[in-house]
Structure 1
Amino acid sequence: MVISFWVVVLAGIALCATAFSGPTSSAFKIPGTESQQAIDLLDAKFPGTGGATARMVIAAPDGHKVTDAGYQAAAEKALTEVAKAPEVVGVTTWDKATVSDNGRVAFSDIRYSVVADNVSDESKDAIQKIADELRAVGLQVDFSGGVFVTEGGAGSTEIYGIIIAFVVLAITFGGLVAAGMPMVIALIGVAIGLLGIQALSGIVSLSDTAPILALMLGLAVGIDYALFILTRHRQNLAEGMEINESIALSTATAGGAVTFAGLTVVIALSGLAVVGIPFLTVMGLAAAGTVAVVVVIALTLVPALLAVLGPRVNAGRIKPLTRRTARAAAANRQPFGHRWAGIVTAKPWLTVVACLVVAGVLAIPLTGMKLGLPDDSSQPTSTTERRAYDLLTNGFGTGFNGPLTLVISTPGSAGAKAAAASGAEGLRNADDVAAVGEPTANQAGDVAIIAVTPRSGPSSQETKDLVKTIRTAADRVEKERGGRAYVTGNTASNIDVSDKLSSSLPLFLVLIVGLALVLLTLVFRSLLVPVKAVLGFLLSIGASLGITVYVFQQGHLGGLFGVEAPGPIVSFLPVLLIGILFGLAMDYEMFLVSRIREHYVHHRDPSNAITEGMASTARVITAAALIMMAVFGSFIFGDDSVIKSIGLALAVGVAVDAFIVRMTLVPAILKLSGHVAWALPKSLDRILPDLDLEGSHLTAAHQPGASEPAGARTGAIVVDTGGAGEHADGPPAQPDAEWFNQQPEQTGPRRR
């Protein structure tokens, strides 16, 4: 019944996606910014000028000029036809088109009555047909401006991440059936999530990055969550538990950890709403929704499939791995986690210093991070946007790829054009200004526009400084003479979005850090553990952003990662990375430290607790981290520069957090702190609830001869990681109920 339910849900969501899907957008806009206010003003006062603008770039073959008789005649005819295309309200005719000094490149601007997202396919097809006619006579034609974009995205590179994830699972489980099950669960969850997003795209404006982010996260956490539950189930079967009882116990224990882990990711992604940026809010909610679906599927469909498979869950054994496991067991060889714990805790101060040095070195490039939105120079050379960018740069200069629009408003007066002419005269002598167009006023004369072309590229600091200079001068003129001047256009809009995101970053970071402290204090009933977890999380963020700056901004290793041109880090990446990595980091913290705490509560030996906890969790954390790194890393080799940078940042962040912070730094700090790590003031002890997050009392009830749940007398939270020590690492140490009954006074703080 459960399997049938999910099949019906998948079919229903697919039908909704087919019926209600809408387009996604590559635009990043924020209501209330100056650039958006100017667009709204033009829509109201100057119809036709607030719509999209595309730049049609025409280039002659080497050794020829666009002014050659045959080429010029074809271009004149083409621009005349473009003016007749649907939704086009203006075209720069050939006699007014801008031609480069060498005569090889020319461009004409096409103005639309609607914004770029609303330009119809009919209009685009009509102009593309005209462009094809020009290409037929030997001219090169490409477009910039955001109306004509080459469809790209993640491509099919994620398939490599899926293949690597399957290999990791096969090695971890030693069997093909067990390895394939998490893959199936993740793919079903991602399919439902993405189809749901597609269905909502008809009523909600979605950025084209949102579905790819949901795919990226859904695959990673979907595989990991099924991995945790399946690992616990196979451990129970290995200990002789009956199948149905094992399924129920695995879902009640490991499923609790999955619920908490998924909840932290969902809360962190939903927290993007506090930034107050619509496209980022929708992006976060879309990814959070997909993760929520994956969690529900892990808690329902995994048990159902386990019931259907029964003992066949261990089928498809990989013999070399099985023999290796048997040899390790026969030799009584300690698991890797046990040995690694001994290494990192032998000289804990040295381990702490080494981890801080490594993370610090990786984070060094972060000190020079510049935020912005990518321009067309970051696109692959196979796209029309990049080809147009290169033609304009070679023919006129980089500034012609990002023109600014100055909007002059004189409410109640027809003097806008005169004011604009005065402003234009001053701009012609300004630094970093390549060209200033003639003012154009609306019919009422109270709004005028001027085209301003910078000398510098759209994402350069010089262009950003020019926009600020113009706005500062406009504010001064407004106070002295009245009226109002705005700077808008794609370049100005990108600058406004980046500034808004930069100012929102500290607030979001404080929110996430506060949330982490509260959640971890509730779970671990400790003050030192949450503080240590948050500091480790900040190290992971710093190292991740440092490597991303090193590659995408500074241009190192660009050939390896397919970075077309260095540029600023996409402005919403830090906020997005903090939200996502917080949830994933808390996953690893939960599965590792909860198991260490369980052993500590049982035996009151801090050193032994670290060793036993690492021995039983190292394997599953390693597998989970490798899977996430493979999935995130596969997106680095797509075409979209934004997706590339997100994929690299997440892959590096997961690697640093799992291997440097959680499995190395955390055990060393716990070794140094000893009993203090688990101390909690009595005032907090009385008011904090006993969550028993993974059903430890239920676990203890299944131990032979247990008369009461282990830890019941202590009120302590004892969280099992879900049997992470599968096979080669050996079964985790189980609570000794008799030990509790004989020595209750040694079990730790009591709560009445």
Structure 2
Amino acid sequence: MAALARWCLRRRLVVVALWLVALLGTGAAAAVAGTSYTGDYGISGTESAHAQELMRQGFPGSDRDDTTVVWKRGHGPEGVRDRTVEQRMGEALDDIAAQPAVDEVTGPYDSRGPARISPDGHTAYATVHFTRPAGDVAEDDLRRVADTAQAAADAVPGLRVAVDGADVPEAESSSSRLSEAVGVAAAAVVLFLVFGSLAATLLPLVTAVVAVGTACLATGLLGHVMTLADFAPMLGTLIGLGVGIDYALFIVTRHRRGLRRGLGVEEAAREAVSSAGRAVVFAGATVCIALLGMLVLRLDFLVGVAVSASLTVILAVLASVTLLPALLGAIGLRVLGRRERKRFARTGPAAEEGTAGPTARWSRFVERRPRVLGALAAVVMVVLALPVLGLRLGTSDDGTAPAGSQSRQVYDLMADGFGPGVNGPLTLVAETDDPRSRAALHDLPAELRGTEGVAEVSGPVMSRDGSVGAVTVRPDSAPQDAATSRLVERLRADVLPEAVGDAPLTVHVGGTTAAYDDFADTILGKLPLFLGTVVALGSALLLLAFRSIGIPAKAALMNVLAVSASFGVVVAVFQWGWGSEPLGLGGAGPIEPFLPVIMIAVLFGLSMDYQVFLVSRMFEEWRSTGDNQRAVRVGLAETGRVINSAAAIMIAVFGAFVLSGDRIIAMFGIGLATAVALDAYVLRTLLVPALMHLLGGANWWLPGWLGRFLPRLTIEPPEPDRLPAQPEPLAIPHQREREPVAPV
């Protein structure tokens, strides 16, 4: 690391130029190649996926993208059948059908349309089928449809119209830019309060923005070679800004400490990269390992998310250990504040930090009352985690969109006019290769009518060659309601087998709710394997770094507590709806099935960061003195301020993404911000040191037989002039010898 820092300092113009080439080069490539993301989070091999595949085979074009135009006229006996309404909306639908991106429009005013008018006659809807596959409709095409429909509504008094998804693309784009700007601005305020220097404030921001910008553009290119979820770029930006600014903060803080001790600019930067830079590399590795743990799930779109997020973290680490030292060498002593430079010129080098101040006083306070404070911290974490017991995974549809959005208006108008199940019908699909199976499918609707939870049954509809048939079931509950999930289970387990009887017919239940339920079941089934993999890999790294059984065990426990408590807050806000509407995040609804996996990966990685920065200083002091009480006290006192500052930056960045307007990203933002706050201010500065005080020297115990087989790994560089103590009775024999230590 020292050699890398020396090279970057001596060739800083080359380093800056290389990063600019990387940023501009990926930008040019992304502009030429474009992006390729998917909003399809389905899983192959499930019953709903089989139903979707049969629909695609039997009814070509059924996977085309479409949107819904709904209108309502609440007064007048004729409602939407009024001659003026019918004329204006009929002309509008004809104009929409003539647009180049539109393949077909199915409306309520032709022979196929009576079912598209509500029983009370006040609501009607039309389906606009686009020529492009699902998810590929351009923003301009959607806007033209919305403008045409709205122009017709404006010409008829009392007519209200809404178009599904018409306000999403532009709103999401502007909100995303706003959230990123707010996050960076909030981080800048925290950095300026910490450093008191504008130059020092800009350094972490510049390195993080360059790294994240390069990663975001590269993520767009990744979409051409692997399946990449449409939220991957924003998720990568969220993670990259947080860790990138934090990693640079740790190195700049160590560099400033070296300058205060009287080191030259280049020597201080080299020492900062050699010490804090190692911890940054180690922390980045733990985040990547946690993210890549998602590969064990073997879900295509999660593989893309894991790779893109890991790429962002890798680039953030690289920028911190290459671009940052080059910039440190360029700005010289201006990394210190003006007053600090004047004081330094008058009084010379300052004493080491960490022996006084609020964090030192807090450290002594925890040392005096470890039992009481530890118990209090544990109670807080357990209480916040209680809502997890009610966690329900499922579809989060337009019913949870912000009130006033076009999608939410369409959802509410359709539900009011046709019942809540109209927004998420179930599709029952079967192969009908012989007369007996076709006859059984034709009898199926009669068998299903009257089933508990079923509001309406229509069909069957047969493919042109008669090989595939489909029956549509409209539930009497909304797609995201638990009652709809119970109906899916009841149809599959009891109703359909009994209705089919001995006929050679296998009916597959598909539709939005069925797909999300299958997704959730698959995720939950693989979650223990994923969780075990992430915990095992993270614990193995800590075992190598700190050569202790207790440190990895406590880290695993703390990570589980942080994840559980943050999920408790997510459940309360999004599933129970505590404050979601005031925050502009829509109404209450279930949690997305893939959210636990991604959040566990990210949170485990971030939690390891603070564990590494806190315990590495404690471990250094333990090796030097053999005094556990002193090691915990000094470690907390000297790292508490920088950990608190880093946490404040992450909370600001993650919290700002609540403004993105995207419910999924807002879930990530609130969950990650909560986890970081609890991890830094409750676990690492309270519960962890309290437990370490109570356990004493047992914190550092390692069986001798295991120590002989473990390779040596260190985060902080060895200091040849410091001889490690030989504490008793928990001394580790192999640590008494000064042997070469492999750097991270």
- What's the TM-score, normalizing by structure 1? 0.88
Over 3 Å counting, the alpha-carbon distance change for 1:338 and 1:226 in structure 2 is: same
How far is 1:273 from its partner?
Answer: 1.9
Which of 47, 52, 57 lines up with 1:44 in the alignment? Answer: 57
Check conservation: 1:89, 1:112, Cα contact below 8 A.
yes
Which of 527, 531, 536 lines up with 2:553 in the alignment? Answer: 531
The CA RMSD over aligned residues, in Å, is 3.0
Which of 151, 174, 185 lines up with 1:163 in the alignment? Answer: 185
- Work out whether 1:137 is the aligned partner of 2:192: no
CA distance in structure 2 between the partners assigned to 1:505 and 1:441 by the alignment: 39
Check conservation: 1:221, 1:291, Cα contact below 8 A.
yes
SS at match of 2:200: helix
CA distance in structure 1 between the partners assigned to 2:251 and 2:148 by the alignment: 58
2:292 corresponds in structure 1 to: 270
CA distance in structure 1 between the partners assigned to 2:713 and 2:352 by the alignment: 39
1:724 corresponds in structure 2 to: none
1:302-381 pair list within 5 angstroms:
302-316=324-338, 334-381=356-403
CA distance in structure 2 between the partners assigned to 1:479 and 1:692 by the alignment: 67
Deviation track 1:456-502 (CA, whole Å, cap 9, x = no partner) reads 11111111111122222445667732222122233322222222222
1:15 corresponds in structure 2 to: 28
Which of 108, 111, 127 lines up with 1:109 in the alignment? Answer: 127
Check conservation: 2:403, 2:581, Cα contact below 8 A.
no
2:482 corresponds in structure 1 to: 461
SS at match of 1:371: coil
Which of 665, 677, 680 lines up with 2:699 in the alignment? Answer: 677
- Work out whether 1:418 is the aligned partner of 2:418: no
Check conservation: 1:94, 1:108, Cα contact below 8 A.
no
Check conservation: 1:634, 1:647, Cα contact below 8 A.
yes
Deviation track 1:335-383 (CA, whole Å, cap 9, x = no partner) reads 2222111111212221221111111111111111111131101112343
- Work out whether 1:489 is the aligned partner of 2:511: yes
1:585-604 pair list within 5 angstroms:
585-604=607-626
Which of 9, 18, 29 lines up with 2:42 in the alignment? Answer: 29
Over 3 Å counting, the alpha-carbon distance change for 1:344 and 1:207 in structure 2 is: same
1:566 corresponds in structure 2 to: 588
SS at match of 1:107: strand
CA distance in structure 2 between the partners assigned to 1:45 and 1:560 by the alignment: 45
- What's the TM-score, normalizing by structure 2? 0.89
Deviates more, 1:87-96 or 1:449-458: 87-96
Which of 454, 458, 461 lines up with 1:433 in the alignment? Answer: 454
SS at match of 2:41: coil
SS at match of 1:66: helix
- Work out whether 1:70 is the aligned partner of 2:84: yes
Over 3 Å counting, the alpha-carbon distance change for 1:635 and 1:33 in structure 2 is: same
CA distance in structure 2 between the partners assigned to 1:332 and 1:596 by the alignment: 13
Over 3 Å counting, the alpha-carbon distance change for 1:660 and 1:122 in structure 2 is: closer
How far is 1:184 from its partner?
Answer: 0.9
Deviation track 1:18-40 (CA, whole Å, cap 9, x = no partner) reads 11122533332222222222222
CA distance in structure 2 between the partners assigned to 1:426 and 1:112 by the alignment: 35
1:542 corresponds in structure 2 to: 564
Segments of 5+ residues of structure 1 without an aligned counterpart are 717-743
Which of 437, 445, 449 lines up with 2:466 in the alignment? Answer: 445
Check conservation: 2:333, 2:341, Cα contact below 8 A.
no
1:217-232 pair list within 5 angstroms:
217-232=239-254
Counterpart residue type for residue 34 of structure 1: E
1:738 corresponds in structure 2 to: none
Counterpart residue type for residue 163 of structure 2: F
Deviates more, 1:348-357 or 1:674-683: 348-357
Check conservation: 1:636, 1:643, Cα contact below 8 A.
yes
Deviation track 1:636-682 (CA, whole Å, cap 9, x = no partner) reads 23312111111111111111111111111111111111111111101
How far is 1:12 from its partner?
Answer: 0.4
- Work out whether 1:642 is the aligned partner of 2:664: yes
Percent identity at matched positions?
A: 36
CA distance in structure 2 between the partners assigned to 1:675 and 1:562 by the alignment: 50
SS at match of 2:555: helix
Check conservation: 1:226, 1:298, Cα contact below 8 A.
yes
CA distance in structure 2 between the partners assigned to 1:340 and 1:121 by the alignment: 54
2:10 corresponds in structure 1 to: none
Check conservation: 1:59, 1:106, Cα contact below 8 A.
yes
- Work out whether 1:400 is the aligned partner of 2:422: yes
CA distance in structure 2 between the partners assigned to 1:167 and 1:429 by the alignment: 62
- Work out whether 1:88 is the aligned partner of 2:103: yes
1:143-158 pair list within 5 angstroms:
143-144=163-164, 149-153=168-172, 154-155=175-176, 156-158=178-180
CA distance in structure 2 between the partners assigned to 1:231 and 1:584 by the alignment: 19
How far is 1:442 from its partner?
Answer: 1.2
Deviates more, 1:440-449 or 1:155-164: 155-164
CA distance in structure 1 between the partners assigned to 2:353 and 2:126 by the alignment: 77
Over 3 Å counting, the alpha-carbon distance change for 1:258 and 1:242 in structure 2 is: same
- Work out whether 1:175 is the aligned partner of 2:175: no
Check conservation: 2:432, 2:438, Cα contact below 8 A.
no
Check conservation: 2:453, 2:475, Cα contact below 8 A.
yes
How far is 1:746 from its partner?
Answer: 10
SS at match of 2:161: strand
- Work out whether 1:692 is the aligned partner of 2:714: yes
Check conservation: 1:417, 1:439, Cα contact below 8 A.
no
Check conservation: 1:87, 1:119, Cα contact below 8 A.
no
1:726 corresponds in structure 2 to: none
SS at match of 1:106: strand
Check conservation: 2:658, 2:665, Cα contact below 8 A.
yes
CA distance in structure 2 between the partners assigned to 1:294 and 1:401 by the alignment: 43
CA distance in structure 1 between the partners assigned to 2:354 and 2:283 by the alignment: 33
Over 3 Å counting, the alpha-carbon distance change for 1:233 and 1:318 in structure 2 is: closer
Counterpart residue type for residue 439 of structure 2: A
SS at match of 2:427: strand
Check conservation: 2:708, 2:734, Cα contact below 8 A.
no
Check conservation: 2:247, 2:320, Cα contact below 8 A.
yes
CA distance in structure 1 between the partners assigned to 2:330 and 2:385 by the alignment: 48
